[in-house]
Amino acid sequence: MAAVTTEKVYGPQEPRSFNFLFGIVVRLAVLGLVNAVAFWLGYNLWRDGNTALGIVIVVIALGVTVINLWPSLWPLRWMSPGLALMALLAIYPIFYTVYVAFTNFSDGHRYTKAEAVALMSRTKVLAEGGTSYQWQVYSNEAGEYALWLTAEDGTTLFARPGQPVENVVANESGEGPYDESGAPATIDGFSLLTGGARFQALRDIQTIQFGTEEAPVGIKSRNEAGAFVSKWQFDADRNVLIDVENGTEYIPNEVTGDFVAASGATAPLGYWVPIGFQNFTRIFTSIAVSGPLIRVFLWTIAFAFLSVITSFAVGLMMALLLNGSGIRYKIIKSLLIIPYAVPGMISILIWRGMLNPNGGVITSTIANLTGYTVPWQTDAGWAKAGILLVNLWLSYPYFMLICSGALQSIPSSIYEAAEVDGANAWNKFWSLTLPLLLVAVGPLLIASFTYNFNNYLLIEAMFQGGPTMIGTNAPPVGHTDNLISYTFRFAFGAGGTRDFGFASAIAIIIFIMVGLLTLLQFRFTKRWEEVGDNV
Amino acid sequence: MSSLITSDAGRLSATRDSDPRNYVRGIFTLARVIVIGLALVFTLFPVVWIISASFNPTGSMATQTLIPTNVKSSADLFINFTKLLNNPQVPFWNWIGNSLVVSVITTVLSLGITILAAYSFSRFRFRGRRSLLVTILLVQVFPNILAMVALYLMVLQIGQYIPFLGLNQHGGLIMVYLGGAMGVNTWLVKGFFDTIPKDIDESALVDGATHWQTFWYLVFPLVRPILAVAAMLAFVGTFNEFILARILLSDRQNWTLMVGLFNFVSAKFTDDWGVFAAGSLIAATPIVILYLSLQKYIVGGLTQGAVKG
């Protein structure tokens, strides 16, 4: 069959060389495009102070180029798109997380100095002094406004919102009749507003910026219009930020990343600066932080451990009970793995509803039977129990599947030999089934532990980490929060500033934990393999 | 692939045959039936309950009964579905559409990327091959949600110059998902390619085919059915992803289904229980059917070490 296909595809020589040339042209075009975008992006990032990301993007683009043009690197061509994406979005973020952990990146300090200055300069105020104009106002049928401006030297301009200001000529542009200042009655579909109409329009147009974002013009008073200027101007030579409205000078403080005035006031935006180990010392020295963090840490481990143990035990039990041939076993197994197939978020929300204290079916049934309304959402112990119950429901089918497969791969001759030696069912389970099963399942248990260690979905969707620990409010930390949801609360949660630097410091702790767990997993894998070889 | 489920070799005969006395056997059987029955109730009750809730015209949590009462016409049965789809506060179709767009694009691109990489890892021998494979394995160890802060800031920064890759854009979300593509699937797909004999490639290469032609006309068609499984796993994984979508998408209209359902539930759960149930049913049914129909292959993939995300 293979021979037939090859005949078809590889015919005469000409198409191949055409394909060859075509391939080179396409490759060069794609590489050119990738490099153009990467260099443009890199330059912009570098200009605005995000130097590291800019450099990384350019270096990755150059790497892709070298791989695709260097003849001896041809096997890597095939994976260059994947490697580029992995380098940019999987490896660089790890280093970037470490870097952010050593900065004060947070709300108010979210940008580089250059970006912060650029963002603040978008706030425009009408300049004192500067060019001043007489104005007439026009409106068109769409309800848009435009201004006819006459400068003191007689220059006339026509300004619309969002469009460049046009030069116009008094008594010539537009259609007459012209008034005493030379403004036409209609121009470009706009007609002049006078008297009461002009007065009414004043209220609307006071807030409008006419002209483009770069050179906006606005109404200053009943008779005067003038140019808008940036409220904040940065004097790079003197390294001061000036509030144009009142002339206050703000000096950048490179330690805290704020622009500080002599009065102690700070400009609305600061910028991020490296702050050394401050985020880490905060973890270990601040009681308000370290107290809840230790509890979160312990619960994270307990949750992962108990989840794996309970799901594995129930999964193994069901696998043993259903370890038979026959259609009814197959049907029962298919029914039991349904929880595994339902999207996790939906399952968890269903459980959250069933455990709801106001009418959730499980809570109200228990209340009817025993008279006790289980406080799933308000009692730390019950909340934890509820989460473990739901996770059992979510994950035991997985272990049932795995164990079923592993059980069937254990040769029956081993059991026969054990029976000859006089082993009973109990002996056989503990001395044969379980050890042999762990050979196959051991690494998966650790993988599952690692997964649950980072299980954000269940924690967040179930009780949002609640009930809240007393004494934590910025942000509030809950009794069922695990490390990853704790990190989330500091970085993105409600009720606190978005403290990216501190959240990254916590994330580094998780990185280290996950790394250690994985090391353990690899060692286990090796050890179990040896066990398997000996049997 | 694996036939782990269907094979019956080595069945555990411990409980049935070890004890000759009949009454012990009877107790064992009874206990076994009871446990299996309890497991079925525990496992299936939430599923049955949510299906019942979606067709229950009362719509609220406290008044729900297992068999819907007060059903006067067939329209009553579907009242939760009509409510769901006509509520401007809950742009349910938008969310489903967003989830589908993001998941389909991510699946196609990430499979394209990983297939090429996995093929060259499977077929070519070059310096640094082993260390690259190990690197990919190590990168996969650290789920990208650990770097959520860094990813958020990167998307913020890139979005200032390329808006469609920025915050609150599906492009930015897809970009972040693609960053994890290589780590998740390369090993799995490489395993697929390893099952195709190399003789096929070699005979084509001897005949003068390029590597690309060998891949595209010979090997790729052979692994296509198996790749469908990898595609489905990637699709479902993206469809179910929550945390990155929640961080990166801020506008209600742009949310994916999982973010939408989560926020919908946070608002007023007990009154909208029936509507939530209807939405869950619409969203979960296709996924469950997909999973169950491909169950055999998924089990094979699972035992190779993948954990459901």
A375 close to B (CB below 8 A): no
DSSP state of A73: G
- Asked if residue B305 is part of any domain, the answer here is no
Nearest to A359 among B270, B292, B305 (CB): B270
Amino acid in the structure at residue B160: Q
B303 close to A (CB below 8 A): yes
A76 close to B (CB below 8 A): yes
pLDDT at A530: 52
Using alpha carbons, select from A323, A159, A141 the residue that is nearest to residue A226: A159
A71 close to B (CB below 8 A): no
Choose one of B38, B58, B81: the last residue of a domain. Answer: B81
pLDDT tens profile B47-88: 999 999 998 887 777 777 787 777 777 777 888 888 888 888
B262 and B121 housed in the same domain? yes
* Domains in chain B, number: 2
Tokens of A364: 């109200």
A138 pairs with which residues across the strands?
Answer: A146, A192
Give me the helix-helix angle, A456-463 and A380-408, nearest 10°.
Answer: 140
pLDDT at B43: 93
Neighbours of A121 (CB within 10 A): 16
B122 and B49 housed in the same domain? no
- Asked if residue B307 is part of any domain, the answer here is no
Strands A224-230 and A186-187: unpaired
Nearest chain B Cα distance for residue A359, angstroms: 4
A61 contacts A43 by C-beta, under 8 angstroms = no
Inter-chain contact B203–A3, Cβ cutoff 8 Å? Answer: yes
The set of residues, in sequence order, having a beta carbon less than 8 Å from that of B306 and lying 6+ positions away, is B188, B233
Interface test with B, best of A57, A85, A347, A498 (most B CBs within 10 A): A85
pLDDT tens profile A117-129: 888 887 777 766 6
Nearest chain A Cα distance for residue B112, angstroms: 9
Tokens of A284: 């270990």
Q: Which helix (H) or strand (E) holds A126?
A: strand A124-126
A215 contacts A206 by C-beta, under 8 angstroms = no
pLDDT tens profile A479-528: 999 999 999 988 887 766 788 999 999 999 899 988 888 888 777 766 55
A507 close to B (CB below 8 A): yes
Nearest chain B Cα distance for residue A219, angstroms: 31
Inter-chain contact A340–B203, Cβ cutoff 8 Å? Answer: no
Tokens of B248: 């990166």
State how far Cα A391 lies from the chain centre: 25
Nearest to B114 among A82, A352, A451 (CB): A82
Any idea which of A31-40, A205-214, B174-183 has the lowest mean pLDDT?
Answer: A205-214
pLDDT at A120: 85
B233 and B98 housed in the same domain? yes
Nearest to A425 among B15, B179, B239 (CB): B15
How many CA atoms lie within 13 Å of A42's alpha carbon, on the beta-carbon side? 17
Domain A12-101 CATH (choose: 1.20.58, 1.10.8, 3.90.25, 3.40.50): 1.20.58
pLDDT at A1: 37
B144 and B228 housed in the same domain? yes
A215 contacts A229 by C-beta, under 8 angstroms = no
For residue B209, the chain A residues in CB contact (below 8 A) are 6, 9-10
pLDDT tens profile A148-198: 888 877 788 888 887 888 888 878 777 778 887 778 888 888 888 887 888
- Alpha-carbon Rg for chain B, nearest whole angstrom, is 25
Checking if the pLDDT of A291 tops 60, the result is yes
Checking if the pLDDT of B2 tops 70, the result is no
Q: How confident is the model at residue B13 (pLDDT cuts 50, 70, 90)?
A: very low
pLDDT tens profile A359-384: 889 999 999 999 898 999 889 999 99
Taking the C-alpha atoms of residue A27 and residue A23, their distance in angstroms, rounded to an integer, is 6
Task: Quote helix, strand, coil % in chain B, to nearest 5.
Answer: 75, 0, 25
pLDDT at A129: 64
CA geometry: angle at A7 spanning A6 and A8, to 5°?
A: 90
B206 close to A (CB below 8 A): no
Nearest to A94 among B5, B142, B239 (CB): B142
B232 close to A (CB below 8 A): no
B68 and B188 housed in the same domain? no
- Asked if residue B177 is part of any domain, the answer here is yes
Taking the C-alpha atoms of residue A461 and residue B245, their distance in angstroms, rounded to an integer, is 14
B1 close to A (CB below 8 A): no
Taking the C-alpha atoms of residue B147 and residue A91, their distance in angstroms, rounded to an integer, is 10
Q: How confident is the model at residue B15 (pLDDT cuts 50, 70, 90)?
A: very low
pTM of the model: 0.80
Choose one of B24, B53, B81: the last residue of a domain. Answer: B81
B57 and B140 housed in the same domain? no
B77 and B186 housed in the same domain? no
Using alpha carbons, select from A79, A375, A160, A483 the residue that is nearest to residue B190: A79
Amino acid in the structure at residue B54: S
Taking the C-alpha atoms of residue A186 and residue A130, their distance in angstroms, rounded to an integer, is 29
Three-class secondary structure of residue A265 per DSSP: coil
Inter-chain contact B157–A45, Cβ cutoff 8 Å? Answer: yes
For residue B4, the chain A residues in CB contact (below 8 A) are 404-406, 408-409
A240 pairs with which residues across the strands?
Answer: A235
Q: Tell the burial category of A286 from Cβ atoms under 10 Å away from its Cβ (0-12, 13-18, 19+).
A: exposed
Inter-chain contact B61–A333, Cβ cutoff 8 Å? Answer: no
B191 and B212 housed in the same domain? yes
A237 contacts A65 by C-beta, under 8 angstroms = no
Domain A124-230: which CATH class?
Answer: mainly beta
Q: What is the CATH number of domain A282-534?
A: 1.10.3720.10
A368 close to B (CB below 8 A): no
B113 and B177 housed in the same domain? yes
Find tokens 């980490």 and name the residue: A465
Q: How confident is the model at residue B305 (pLDDT cuts 50, 70, 90)?
A: very low
End-to-end, the C-alpha distance of chain B in Å comes to: 22
B76 and B100 housed in the same domain? no
Give the chain A residue nearest B273 (alpha carbons). Answer: A353
Inter-chain contact B150–A428, Cβ cutoff 8 Å? Answer: no
Phi, psi of B226 (to 5 degrees): -70, -35
> What distances in angstroms separate CA A62 from CA A26, A59, A68, A341, one per listed residue?
18, 5, 10, 43
DSSP string, B96-145: HHHHHHHHHHHHHHHHHHHHHHHHHHHH---TTHHHHHHHHHHHHHS-GG
Q: Name the residue with higher pLDDT: B249 or B269.
A: B249
Checking if the pLDDT of B145 tops 70, the result is yes
Strands A232-235 and A217-219: unpaired
For residue A359, the chain B residues in CB contact (below 8 A) are 60-64, 270
Q: How many residues does chain A have?
A: 535
Tokens of A4: 């037939």
pLDDT at B47: 93
Q: Which domain range does residue B74 map to?
A: 14-81
Choose one of B55, B81, B107: the last residue of a domain. Answer: B81
A396 contacts A318 by C-beta, under 8 angstroms = yes
Strand order from edge to edge, sheet including A258-261 = A232-235, A240-243, A249-253, A258-261
How many angstroms separate the most distant Cα atoms in chain A? Answer: 120
Q: How confident is the model at residue B3 (pLDDT cuts 50, 70, 90)?
A: very low
For residue A330, the chain B residues in CB contact (below 8 A) are 5
Tokens of A70: 């260097």
The set of residues, in sequence order, having a beta carbon less than 8 Å from that of A37 and lying 6+ positions away, is A61
Three-class secondary structure of residue A102 per DSSP: coil
For residue B28, the chain A residues in CB contact (below 8 A) are none
B37 and B98 housed in the same domain? no
Q: Tell the burial category of A206 from Cβ atoms under 10 Å away from its Cβ (0-12, 13-18, 19+).
A: exposed
Checking if the pLDDT of A5 tops 50, the result is no
Inter-chain contact A90–B183, Cβ cutoff 8 Å? Answer: yes
B114 close to A (CB below 8 A): yes
A366 close to B (CB below 8 A): no
> What distances in angstroms separate CA B98 from CA A442, B94, B151, B179, one per listed residue?
38, 6, 20, 19
A440 close to B (CB below 8 A): yes
B103 and B250 housed in the same domain? yes
Which stretches of B19-127 are assigned E, i.e. beta strand? none
Phi, psi of A311 (to 5 degrees): -65, -40
The answer for A 109-168 residues in CB contact with B (under 8 A) is 110, 115
Nearest to B302 among A333, A359, A401 (CB): A401
Quickly list H helices, A275-343: 278-285, 287-321, 327-336, 338-341
CATH number at residue B227: 1.10.3720.10
> What distances in angstroms separate CA B279 from CA A347, B70, B74, one per listed residue?
12, 21, 19
B146 close to A (CB below 8 A): yes
Interface test with B, best of A88, A89, A404 (most B CBs within 10 A): A89
Taking the C-alpha atoms of residue A437 and residue A177, their distance in angstroms, rounded to an integer, is 97
Phi, psi of A508 (to 5 degrees): -65, -40
Neighbours of A8 (CB within 10 A): 8
Nearest to B180 among A90, A325, A343 (CB): A90
Taking the C-alpha atoms of residue B232 and residue B239, their distance in angstroms, rounded to an integer, is 10
Taking the C-alpha atoms of residue A50 and residue A47, their distance in angstroms, rounded to an integer, is 7
Q: Name the residue with higher pLDDT: A426 or A505.
A: A505
Give the chain A residue nearest B121 (alpha carbons). Answer: A75
φ/ψ region of A422 (left if φ > 0, alpha if ψ in -120 to 50, else beta) reads left
A273-299 average pLDDT score? 85
Q: Tell the burial category of A386 from Cβ atoms under 10 Å away from its Cβ (0-12, 13-18, 19+).
A: buried
Using alpha carbons, select from A103, A93, A88 the residue that is nearest to residue A505: A103
Taking the C-alpha atoms of residue B264 and residue A67, their distance in angstroms, rounded to an integer, is 48
Inter-chain contact A448–B183, Cβ cutoff 8 Å? Answer: no
Neighbours of B128 (CB within 10 A): 11
B154 close to A (CB below 8 A): yes
What is the domain partition of chain A in residue ranges?
A: 12-101, 124-230, 282-534
